[in-house]
Amino acid sequence: MNYRHSFHASNSADVVKHSLLIALVRALQQKPGALTLIDTHAGCGLYDLGGGDAQRTGESGQGVLRAFADTNPLLNDYRAAVRAVNVGAEPHFYPGSPRILAQLLRPQDFLILNEKHPADAYTLRGAMRDTSAAVHERDAYELWLAVLPPRTARGVVVVDPPYEQTDERERITATLAAAHRKWAHGVTVIWYPLKDRTTHWRWKEQLRKLGIPKFLAVEHWLYDQDQPGIYNGAGLYIVNPPYAFTQTLPPMLEALRAVLAPEGHRGAITTDWLAG
């Protein structure tokens, strides 16, 4: 499955991913110690919702625009992050994970971004020029291991690939196992699309066999029954989610489900502890 950020920015998957990423980082920041935030597949950083790629898919109408039309206060932090890169009431630009993470930085925190695609890396540097982020243009899985353990005791690695390569899941599994050996207490967030349940369940079992303690899966299924051959939702694997984050999940997940359910469907957002 090819899932380039520029075509899908601001869709339902981004609303869930970025809402939970903000909540997770804020939970870690309840302690004053510095954090290192690492994004291995950073993309362009900022997306024009009026641009050709976004207009071709038109997915903002089922994602960010629904979140903006809603009034649930549990989504206030997410809406504020989007408003921060816009002027006016309607979002015309969408912040990718790099811009959202940059908004969350405290003076003691660090942000490391990586994007292998040359054109996207060039755009990313421009989008992040007013921040303190370090931007790399390397193989994501090589960088993931190279920067661990980070200079700070605590931190988060965000892994958000386009799933263009047939061995993407295998590379994630192998790199996660190696990364956990190097930095067992670090927090890792892995985004993935949900298209084929059989393929997904097979991968989940492979990850479960890694034996990583405190391994949570959050899955957003858009439809009440799978729609063959199309995108059915997305999920996040989270290694070592902080307690302050997991305690806030149930009401936030219900708010996201209600806002993003397609017409005629209830949808579901589920949690599953692979271990821990």
Are the C-beta atoms of residues 57 and 171 closer than 8 Å to each other? no
Contact yes or no for 170/210 (Cβ under 8 A): no
Q: Produce one character per residue of 195-207: b if its CB has 16 or more CB atoms within 10 Å, e if not.
A: beeeebeebbeeb
Helix axes 97-104, 118-127, angle to 10 degrees: 30
Alpha-carbon distances, residue 147 vs 141, 152, 183 (angstroms): 10, 11, 10
3-state SS class at 272:
strand
Which of the following is catalytic: 39, 109, 120, 160? Answer: 160
- Catalytic residue flag (residue 160): yes
- Which residue has tokens 């997940």? 253
Residues designated as active site: 160
